[in-house]
Copies of this chain bind each other. A is one copy, B any other.
Amino acid sequence: MPRRPLPDISIRQLEYLLAVADAPSWAAAASEVGVSPSALSQGLAELERRLGVQLFESVGRRRKLRTTMTPVLDHARHVVALTCDVVSWADRLRLANTGYVGLGMIDVAAVVHFPDVLRGFRSEHNDVDLRLTVAPSQSLLEDLQHGTLDLVVCVEPPHKMTGIEFVPLLIEPMIVYGPPGLPIDGPASWGPWVLFPADSHSRNLVINRLHQLGASTEVAAESHQADVLREMVLLGLGWTVLPRSQGESERGELSVGEQILERQLVVARRAGAVTDPAVDELARRLIRQPATGNE
């Protein structure tokens, strides 16, 4: 294809054309666009020169767009609309894409379920500054609401939260663990407990379930960290309920009870947020990560 340079029809000229198409006068059109009538007149004369057509006819001292020039007017509308779209997109991108992704995860997500996802993302988006915060669900969701974090992997909260949307990731079985060598009988013999703190979503789930089972709900000690809870059980300070991925390790010395409930891990995002491509990509990878075989 022979490459003749296209005439440089400027967005500005097209805006002028749209303005005069519907304005009562060119002075009004110029005011609407925010330039002098002279600039508008000269800009449209230049557009005529570049296209090589006569866009207007004189009606007395007024100028009116020729009906035969409708295709140019349609073109102007179309190109200006497309330009508005891409500028709007760029504005949103600039605001959102600082090259930084703030990710919050509860510990089991970071350590057990998604370390591969994080590694893969980092190696393929080394231009993105991925900052990981490991904390309890409640705390993470607050940071998400405040804008400190962009994406959170946590336990599904008991209630909907305004402005936050959730996508399910995986379901974790929660199992009762007792001190080593202690046989586990019926629920009435379970406890006392070492659990996550009272403001923890998992804690609420566990207490409610124990109630239902007719087991004691006395809590002897608390910690946000599953490892600490395991050590407390090992020391005989109490029983706990943990996901299998955190309750059992190479040093599998705790007495393993039954699965009493399940908890849903989700990825959380501020609803209606400007979509940062990097955050989008990371969310996609989390969502499509197969479950880690801890069913």
**Which A residues form the contact surface with B (CB < 8 A)?**
3, 5-12, 15, 32-34, 51-53, 57, 68, 71-72, 75, 78-80, 82-87, 89-91, 93-94, 97, 127, 277-278
What residues of B have a CB within 8 angstroms of the CB of A32 in the complex?
A: 3
Assembly CA distance A166 to B257 (angstroms): 93
Q: A75-B82, A82-B78 are in contact. Are A91 and B52 (CB under 8 A)?
A: yes
Distance A5 CA – B80 CA, assembled complex (angstroms): 11
Minimum C-beta distance from A50 to chain B (A): 9
Q: Known: A3-B33, A8-B10, A83-B79. Is A90-B57 also a contact (CB below 8 A)? A: no
- Contact status B12-A83, CB under 8 Å: no
Closest to A34 in B: B3
A150 to chain B, nearest CB (A): 15
Q: List 21 A-B contacts (CB under 8 A).
A: A3-B32, A3-B33, A3-B34, A5-B12, A5-B33, A5-B34, A6-B83, A7-B11, A8-B11, A8-B12, A9-B11, A10-B10, A51-B86, A51-B90, A53-B90, A53-B94, A68-B277, A71-B86, A75-B82, A78-B82, A79-B82
**Residue among A6, A12, A72, A277 facing the most chain B CB atoms (10 A cut-off):** A6
Q: Is A57 in contact with B6, judged by CB distance below 8 angstroms?
A: no
